[in-house]
Structure 1
Amino acid sequence: MPCSHEDITSGQITGLDLSNETISAGIDDSSVLFNLKSLESVNLAANKFNFKQIPSRFGRFTRLLSLNLSNSGFSGQIPGELSQLTSLEVLDLSSFFSYGIHSLKLENPNLDKLVQNLTKLRSLYLDNVNISSQKSDWCQSLSSSLLDLEVLSLSNCQLSGPLDDSLERLQSLSVIRLALNNLSAPVPDFFANFKNLTVMNLGSCNLIGTFPEKVLQLQSLQILDLSANMNLNGFLPYFRMNGSLQSLVLSRTNFSGGIPESIGNLKNLSRLDLMKTNLSGKIPESMGNLTQLLSLDLSSNRFIGQIPSFQKCKNLTRVEESDLC
């Protein structure tokens, strides 16, 4: 139902969704949008605002619970006024791509200043936002203010390591996406304490050290991507029954040892990518019982023996296997 002039002037609208409308005219602080004082949800995702800045008046929506400006072509400094949205539970300023000098950035205010008042935030998406000015203390900034955070998505934000121990305070985390940052650090053991963790993407982060096996054994974990971390060591553990793992991507890492027979316990596994690791030994027969498997890549490893039968894997559409010895 279209909004009437009376609706706009009285400010009774609580939700506004103009996503995917190819809006290109831009929004400035004089827009009629900012007369809607009662808004609790704003979604302007997937529009084309031609690298204009985010209007500072968004900070006046004091009742706002969700703000989604993702993939809309906004550019420049994220306004500090957004830190006034103290009721906010979801903030999405992410982009699918980095636009270089036209990307959104957090310099003044930086990440610390932006989130210090957003204590009710549960989901934070800042993928491809330039946060390089935060240096290495971004972990402390998050853990000091966002204790109820469930989704942390900061891929390609020019962050640096280490992954500080303060992150362990965020016990509600279920999604961690930090791919394409130069962390140059190991993954701390306490990541295995995130009992609600379902998604972890740390691909291309220049991780080092040994990956904690207990993270791979988390019953809640559905997606794990550690790809393109050539200096990351690790071993595949014993996989318990009834695990939730659906996608395991370890390509171009330095995982070694063998594939355990218990891999057959991962009944929900649909993607397994072990390409160009340092794995060896026999491919266990139990892999033939992974009936949900869609994609399998075992190429460029040192496996020996026979390839197991995948006849039960009726949905398998992509298979890349190494030359067995």
Structure 2
Amino acid sequence: MGISFFQQLFLIIILPVLCIATVPAKSQCLEDQELLLFHFKNSLKFDSSLSTKLVLWNQTTDCCLWDGVTCDNAGYVIGLDLNNEFISGGIDRSSSLFSLQFLQSLNLSSNQFNSLQIPPGFSNLASLTHLNLSNSGFAGQIPIELSRLTRLVTLDLSTLYFPGVRSLLLQNPDLAMLVQNMTELTQLYLDGVNISARGYDWCQALSSLPNLGELSMSNCYLSGPIDSSFAKLRSLSVIRLDQNNLSAPVPQLIADFKNLTALRLASCNLNGVFPAKILELPALQTLDLSLNGLLNGSLPEFNHDRPLQTLVLSYTNFTGALPYSFGKLGMLSRLDLSRCNFSGPIPNSMANLTQLVYLDMSSNKFTGSIPSYWMSKNLTHIDLSLNALSGPLLSTHFEGLPDLVYIDLRFNTFNGSIPSSLFALPTLQKIQLSNNHFDGPLAGFSKASLSMLDTLDLSSNKLQGPIPKSFFDLKGLNVLLLSSNNLTGTIQLESLQSLGNLTTLDLSYNNLSIEISGSNSSLSSPLPQITALKLASCNLKIFPDLSNQSRMFMLDLSNNQIGG
């Protein structure tokens, strides 16, 4: 059956019109909005040579297309992002910024307001849902007018602390007065703001925020203990209270926050026993309890795979052995257990932690051999120093770690030879293996490997044989420590001239002989600028020419055969 004349007419004329009508119109900036923005820009003090957004605002283009400006479909400005625009002033009570009545999101973070007080005019922006003034250089008392922003979902007034620089204060009005009407808040960041409140007061103030999901109040001069009213914040997923003098145990109530993904309580003067059930929370990804020397605890068995990515317990009094089930933490990328009181063997199951990037288990009482880390391809940092670890190092322990930058195994009882695979890792900057029982000859390496090496410390072992010539090809080497071994051979002092970055050298107490070419102490080329030179017991017969050494503060040429 064919299409009628009227049907054809509909397809040709009417249908295209309907289709055009359904395409959303591109928003165009309203004239009054453009004028307000342009007046705002002209009133600001900012460094035009460093600005990337404001400097490009031009009235010849639609202001909705200006960098940092967001408009709704009607052409009203609803978003303003002027992060890191080097603004130093120009916002006062009369600023046209405060006439942008439809503004919902405002970001003035990372600017330089030179300790100016936050203008009370922000309260005129009644539609604001997101306000970010972090690290903007504001200082002094936070104005009570901000409490009128009752639609806020995110408030960020956090600031980094610098000695001698004025900080933001939240004391009169206090925290309770600021947030009492902000019942929609889901994210509150006040790091570095001087709140100076007791545990009962700041916990009660926050308990009026039923939707709060992220709380960050580190270094706010808060005291403890954490009040029971804190339990009302059941929506919390992030808690950051670092660097506050809580002086109390971690309350058991935190174990009831089933949505918790991050808990940071570093340097809070915590005491008592840490509730192990917190470590069993199903969503926990980050736990940092470091620098709480009076905090006791132990690690539980991990019966299920956990999403834990960061575990930092350094400088606490955690004790006991690491559970074998530790290997189930397959997402773990940062593990810092340094300066605790852990003991016993390191479980071989740790070889399953394939996502590890940073590993520090130094200054504990770990014993036995170490697991292989060859499956942890992302490792950059390994520190197992100051334990009672033993056994040989195998090539498989560190083979195939393309990003390893730092390895420290000092002050253990490892024995056997140093595996050559360690000297084949291209990104290594520091190798520290001193005060062990390593023996055998030193392996050489190619110029392509260890090109980035800054520190090589093999002192106080039982190494034998000559120092490979390739050691003197390490152009970037800053520290070379080979003292107190059984190394032999003769070294020409001139060979150090190729180590242009060398500042510390210790070859003392071996069976080496250091020679200076020629009949006197003069060198054909000067040595690099060395700050510490130790050549004790090196059969040195001539005092070396150190006349060009303007930075040297330590020199040990004792127990040699220097005459004259």
TM-score (norm 2): 0.56
Structure 2 counterpart of 1:195, which letter?
Answer: K
How far apart, in 2, do the equivalents of 1:146 and 1:58 lie? 21
User: 1:14 aligns to what?
Assistant: 78
* Cα deviations by residue, 1:18-55 (Å, 9 ceiling, x for unpaired): 11111112411111101101111111011111110100
How far apart, in 2, do the equivalents of 1:289 and 1:133 lie? 45
Pair 1:51 & 2:77 matched: no
> How does 1:41-80 map onto structure 2 within 5 Å?
41-80=105-144
User: 1:108 aligns to what?
Assistant: 172
Equivalent position to 2:283, from 211, 217, 220: 220
Farther off after superposition, 125-134 or 275-284: 125-134
* Cα deviations by residue, 1:265-285 (Å, 9 ceiling, x for unpaired): 000000100000011011000
> How does 1:156-175 map onto structure 2 within 5 Å?
156-175=219-238
Between the two structures, name the one with larger relative contact order (CA 8 Å, sep ≥ 6).
Answer: 1
Structure 1 stretches of 5 or more lacking a match? none
Equivalent position to 2:368, from 305, 313, 319: 305
How far apart, in 2, do the equivalents of 1:104 and 1:84 lie? 19
Deviation at 1:6, TM superposition (A): 2.1
User: 1:35 aligns to what?
Assistant: 99
Structure 2 counterpart of 1:259, which letter?
Answer: L
How far apart, in 2, do the equivalents of 1:184 and 1:217 lie? 24
User: 2:297 aligns to what?
Assistant: 234
Q: Secondary structure at the match of 1:239?
A: coil
How far apart, in 1, do the equivalents of 2:140 and 2:380 lie? 43
* Cα deviations by residue, 1:162-202 (Å, 9 ceiling, x for unpaired): 01111111000000000000000111111111111111110
Q: Which has the larger radius of gyration?
A: 2
Structure 2 stretches of 5 or more lacking a match? 1-26, 37-74, 390-564
1:46 and 1:72 in contact (8 A); partners too: yes
Structure 1 counterpart of 2:112, which letter?
Answer: K
User: 1:199 aligns to what?
Assistant: 262
> How does 1:150-299 map onto structure 2 within 5 Å?
150-299=213-362
Do the aligned partners of residues 163 and 288 (structure 1) sit closer, same or farther apart at CA in structure 2, a change above 3 Å counting? same
* Cα deviations by residue, 1:85-128 (Å, 9 ceiling, x for unpaired): 11111000001225556100011100010011111110000000
TM-score (norm 1): 0.96
1:26 and 1:50 in contact (8 A); partners too: no
2:199 and 2:226 in contact (8 A); partners too: no
How far apart, in 1, do the equivalents of 2:218 and 2:268 lie? 10
1:8 and 1:36 in contact (8 A); partners too: no
Do the aligned partners of residues 244 and 300 (structure 1) sit closer, same or farther apart at CA in structure 2, a change above 3 Å counting? same
Q: Secondary structure at the match of 1:254?
A: strand
1:226 and 1:253 in contact (8 A); partners too: yes
How far apart, in 1, do the equivalents of 2:352 and 2:236 lie? 32
Do the aligned partners of residues 303 and 2 (structure 1) sit closer, same or farther apart at CA in structure 2, a change above 3 Å counting? farther
How far apart, in 2, do the equivalents of 1:225 and 1:36 lie? 41
Farther off after superposition, 64-73 or 23-32: 23-32
How far apart, in 2, do the equivalents of 1:38 and 1:8 lie? 13
Structure 2 counterpart of 1:211, which letter?
Answer: F
